[in-house]
Amino acid sequence: MNIKVGILGATGNVGQRFIQMLENHPIFDLEVLAASQRSAGKKYADACYWYQSEPIPEEVVNKIVVPTDANHKAFEDVDIVFSALPSDLAKKLEPEFAKAGKLVFSNASAMRMENDVPLIIPEVNPEHFEMIEIQRENRNWDGAIITNPNCSTIGAVITLKPIMDKFGLDLVNITTMQAISGAGYNGVPSMAILDNIIPYIGNEEEKMQSESLKLLGKFENNKFINADFKIGVSCNRVPVIDGHTESIFVKTKEEVEPEKIKEVMNKFDPLKEYNLPTYAKPIIVRDEIDRPQPRLDRDAGKGMSISVGRIRKDPIFTVKYTALEHNTIRGAAGASVLNAEFYVKKYL
């Protein structure tokens, strides 16, 4: 029997991506769509403006949206909720669902850096799921909150993981060129972004730095211990609809040639044995001199793979390369769904 799931914040851009990724899912049955009081009580097609190029899946067109209330009867038989809530609402509402016994797989930033909340990329730090039992004990609830990182963090950390494991990390410097969909449909006015680059995204640099160290750190003695390399980040918004591009500079602890970096990235496929529905090979290495590009490569692995190219020697660092991810799939909804798939396969 499939696991019944719901979506919190179902009418927004990331909520819509959740709907797409859960359509005909072999493990999860989408039972509940929850949103604000403004949308509650309406048919889904009437409650939202559909932003995606594919049509709304038939099974949700006429589904009635319910309030984002953990005590609502619609959630009685739901075991997992996927959260696409804004951070301020997530901080208040996600714990209420965890108290009600639900597993909350959250894309929101509100709880990511809590010392008993796992921040997970399953290809990178699956052992951090072990914090769930400690979280339940600390907070006296039957459910749990499991978070995935910021969209820009995911693309960088997946590419850094095989390098760290094989050669060690000393210094990392990242410059991002982030798509406008990362700010939401109404996030960046057209007059601000057209013919322009905005060299500031609020709190993005701080998130990438702190989240990367937590993700690539250890879980020991029931605590998260940050990784010990130094990381600097500069974030920019660019006039691309989907697809975050990152220029990544890495100084490794062990001297290594670019070909060896390429080799370990190509071999990196840690969850292959689990046969997870949403999983795709995490890194696709491109050999062309001008790839990856958002328009050409963001949908690699159905949007779940990170495309990497231009792996080359650097005179200051050890190596530099360009990485690209689909920010609303691998960097948002897809990350939460993959976390849930892995948890179900490994722990339930």
**Kind of pairing between the strands at 80-83 and 218-220:** unpaired
Contacts (Cβ under 8 Å, ≥6 apart) of 270: 123, 282
CA distance 318 to 304: 27
Query: Which residue among 48, 128, 151, 326 is the active-site one?
Result: 151
151 catalytic per annotation:
yes
Contacts (Cβ under 8 Å, ≥6 apart) of 326: 242, 243, 298, 299, 300, 303, 304, 334
Long-range residue pairs from 273-281, CB within 8 A, at least 24 positions apart, any chain: 274/341, 274/342, 274/345, 274/346, 276/338, 276/341, 276/342, 276/345, 277/25, 277/26, 277/27, 277/341, 278/21, 278/304, 278/334, 278/337, 278/338, 278/341, 279/304, 279/338, 279/341, 280/304, 280/305, 281/305
Q: Across-strand partners of 244?
A: 325
Contact (Cβ atoms closer than 8 angstroms) between residue 234 and residue 174: yes
DSSP state of 178: E
Contacts (Cβ under 8 Å, ≥6 apart) of 25: 2, 277, 337
244 catalytic per annotation:
yes
Query: Which residue among 48, 128, 235, 244 is the active-site one?
Result: 244
Question: CB-based burial of residue 287 (10 Å sphere; 0-12 exposed, 13-18 middle, 19+ buried)?
Answer: exposed
Determine phi and psi for 5, rounding to 5 degrees: -130, 160
Catalytic residue IDs: 151, 244
